[in-house]
Amino acid sequence: MSQIDEPVTVWTKDTGEPERLVWRTRRFRVTDIPTALVGPCDWWGPFSPHGFGIGHPPLAIAGWRFQATADDGETHVFDVHHEDDGAHPWRLMRIFD
């Protein structure tokens, strides 16, 4: 596993699941069922220092993990994170070989 923090371009289905990824000028097509990576909702931030005892903070999809393959057969598992900035909304966080 390599930790990376690079901008990538991701195309998604209407449901939000990734279909394609362009990383370092190479196109990869998703070749499995993406898994949602979850984290606490953004609006929960001000409440996070307080313990409420039961349950866990509300969760939202923070990114996706999926296997994708290039036209030449090169395959990796990618972890991507979606950010709300307009310039590069998708970031590649990890790659598994």
Q: How many domains does the chain have?
A: 1
Residue indicated by tokens 């990538």: 8
Q: What is the pLDDT of residue 4?
A: 87
β-bridge pairing 90-96 and 75-82: antiparallel
19 found inside a domain: yes
* Whole-structure pTM value: 0.78
Q: Could you tell me if residue 15 is inside a domain?
A: yes
Residue 56's pLDDT is 66
Residue 55: exposure state from Cβ atoms within 10 A (0-12, 13-18, ≥19): exposed
Residue 47 lies in a domain: no
- In this predicted structure, the answer to whether residue 93 has a pLDDT above a threshold of 90 is yes
Task: Identify whether 53 is part of a domain.
Answer: no
Residue 18 lies in a domain: yes
Residue 48 lies in a domain: no
Q: In angstroms, rounded to a whole number, what is the distance separating the alpha carbons of residues 59 and 37?
A: 10
Q: Of 41, 30, 14, which Cα lies nearest the Cα of 64? A: 30
Q: For residue range 17-54, what is the model confidence (pLDDT) as tens digits? A: 999 999 999 999 999 999 998 876 666 666 666 665 66
Domain span at 72: 2-42+58-96
